[in-house]
Structure 1
Amino acid sequence: MSRVSEVFSKGKAFIPFITAGDPDLSITEELVPAMAQAGADLIELGIPFSDPIAEGIVIQEADMRALASGVTTDKLFDSVKRIRQKTDVPLAFMTYINPVFVYGSERFIKNAAESGIDALIVPDMPFEEREELLPFCRKYGVELISLIAPTSKERIQAIASASEGFIYCVSSMGVTGVRTEINTDIREMVALVKETKDIPCAIGFGISTPDQAREMSKYADGVIVGSAIVKIAAKYGKDCVVPVCDYVREMKAAITG
């Protein structure tokens, strides 16, 4: 069983997302081990990008702050190596396909694996184009995580059958961001996946409150939260570690309650 699959063998998983380097990489290096101790089961590290098309304003602004603080892909690899000296929590990079191509796909995935990254999530890469990265992911032992959205419908089963690690279920259309309500039929999405393959499903995009997390965890194996955490980092800056970890504990308790 891979480290990513193992995450879901212990019950409902809480998966927080942070923008790496917001407010700077030294805080990211403190935050990741602290979140793991607070109950995060797998942590997504967003690679800052100047044109993050799937992101709402909260994560766009975080990307800008991180880039302004001098984050580069190579600095981020070094940062992950230092994080790995403090924690063995599974880590996934969330990135767009362009930075991977620009860096060189094989070089990027090799360096990610060597720094200690377990999985890769590329929201703007269509499932049909995953062969661009999959051979390198297999070669270096990085799991390429598939996404499904409410519009995937007839493709869900094809995506599920070829997926590994877990399926990232996008709960709402549009960009990332906090939502007051989530109207997608998550139960149906998850059922379609499970009919095809026994693979964990984690739900993200829009979840921000313990009540939403509790509700979503009834149907899924894990809950992913990004914008709500990035907002806390934006509010507290270099003092964000304690408030972020308080939030992680609250959300983890809500889904395992």
Structure 2
Amino acid sequence: MNRIHNLFTTKKDRVLSIYFTAGFPALEDTVPVMEAIQAGGADIIEIGVPYSDPIADGPTIQESNMVALENGMSLKKLFEQLRGFRAKIHVPVVMMGYLNPILQYGMEAFCKKCQEVGIDGLILPDLPMQQYLDDYKELFEQYGLVNTFLISPQTTEKRIRQIDEHSSGFIYMVSSHGVTGAKSGITAEQISYFERVQAMNLKNPRLIGFGISDAETFSKASENSNGAIIGSAFIKTVKNSKNLNEDIQSYIQSVIN
């Protein structure tokens, strides 16, 4: 059974996924950051593959993408860094990226490498569902990769149910229309959206992302889903860190305790 499925079988709520950009702040920080995320108590590690035009991401993550690319990060380099990481990392690991660099690498070669190093799933925001079903679903399943789709407050009930039908890991609930970025608090309008989706009784667990940054927003999101994803606020912690290992663990502990 995939590690993502195992996680949600044993843990139903307050699941914390942490996003970071591979090769940021320094090129060789990828695996040390992963180790610190796990040691801090996060449940899922989400590796961001740097891309020059990350359309779903706000300024903080965009900047980390640029720095990582300037550092020399590429998919080839990332897979080299990830070789053997499963000797130390036991939590589920998903890779978040955009289609362009993956297609340049070769989709089957990419999926095969993901399986070789121990990646559990993919989040590809610009992969249309129909293209996934027609071209890639069998390939992902062949290599044991769970695909995660995103929904937002603008997503229709019909579309949400379609996504739920074709998902097998978790659904990424974007908390608001727009791009990633830490915001102050969760609005009544967002809570109404969370409750509306909760009432649909979907078969897949849901994690809320975009605007989750601290213990308060994590707890509020977890009241209406299985947990949350933190990205921009974590990237800011990494950017300002004087001691990556200590600061990462301290930040995650501040969110979950």
1:88 alignment counterpart: 90
Rounded Cα–Cα distance in structure 2 between residues aligned with 1:141 and 1:250: 33
**Counterpart Cα distance in 1 of 2:55 and 2:37:** 27
Q: Does 1:191 align with 2:199?
A: yes
Aligned with 1:220 (options 200, 221, 225): 225
The equivalent position to 2:130 in structure 1, one of 120, 128, 131, is 128
In the TM superposition, residue 134 of structure 1 has moved relative to its aligned partner by 1.6
- After TM superposition, which residue ranges in structure 1, 4 or more long, deviate above 4 angstroms? none
Post-superposition CA distance 1:140-190 (Å, at most 9, x none): 111111211111123111111111111111111111001113332212123
Pairing of 1:84-233 with structure 2 (within 5 A) = 84-131=86-133, 132-154=135-157, 155-183=159-187, 184=190, 185-192=193-200, 194=201, 197-233=202-238
Helix, strand or coil for the counterpart of 2:169? coil
**Structure 2 counterpart of 1:44, which letter?**
E
Residue identity (%): 38
Do the aligned partners of 1:15 and 1:223 also contact (CA within 8 Å) in 2? Answer: yes
TM-score, length-scaled by structure 1: 0.92
Within-5 A mapping of 1:9-24: 9-11=10-12, 12-24=14-26
Number of equivalenced pairs: 249
Matched residue SS, 1:241:
helix
Residue 129 of structure 1 deviates from its aligned partner by: 2.3
1:126 is displaced (CA, Å) by: 2.3
Amino acid at match of 2:127: M
Q: Flag the 1:128–1:181 CA change in 2: closer, same or farther, 3 A.
A: farther
Per the alignment, residue 236 of structure 1 pairs with 241
Residue 90 of structure 2 aligns to which amino acid in structure 1?
Answer: D
SS across alignment from 2:224: coil
Alignment pair present for 1:3 and 2:3: yes
Deviation at 1:133, TM superposition (A): 2.4
Match for 1:150: what amino acid?
P
Q: Is the 8 A contact 1:33 1:83 kept in 2?
A: no
In 1: Cα distance, 2:126 partner to 2:91 partner:
26
Residue 59 of structure 2 corresponds to: 57
Correspondence for 1:74: 76
Residue by residue, what CA displacement relative to the aligned partner does 1:55-112 show, whole Å, maximum 9, x if unpaired?
1000010001111111110110121224222112210000011111111111111111
Q: Secondary structure at the match of 1:107?
A: helix
Please give the secondary structure, in 2, of the residue aligned with 1:87: coil
Give the secondary-structure state (helix, strand or coil) at the position aligned to 1:134.
helix
Structure 1: distance between partners of 2:107 and 2:199? 33
Q: Distance in 1 between matches of 2:73 and 2:127?
A: 23
Note if contact 1:35-1:244 (Cα within 8 Å) is conserved in structure 2: yes
Q: State the distance in 1 between where 2:125 and 2:115 align.
A: 19
In the alignment, is the contact (CA less than 8 A) between 2:49 and 2:75 conserved in 1?
A: yes
Q: Please report the RMSD computed on the Cα atoms of aligned residues, expressed in angstroms.
A: 1.4
SS in 2 for 1:203: strand
- Mark the runs of 5 or more structure 1 residues left unpaired by the alignment: none
Question: How many Å separate the matches in 2 of 1:25 and 1:200?
Answer: 33
| Cα distance in 2 between the residues matched to 1:133 and 1:45 | 20
Secondary structure of 2:228's counterpart equals strand
Aligned-partner SS, 1:65: helix
**Residue identity opposite 1:2 in structure 2:** N
Task: Report the Cα distance in structure 1 between the residues aligned to 2:68 and 2:136, rounded to whole angstroms.
Answer: 26
Which stretch of the first structure deviates more once superposed, 120-129 or 161-170?
A: 120-129
TM-score, normalized by length of structure 2? 0.92
Q: Which stretch shows the higher mean deviation, 55-64 or 77-86?
A: 77-86
Letter of the 2:116 counterpart: E
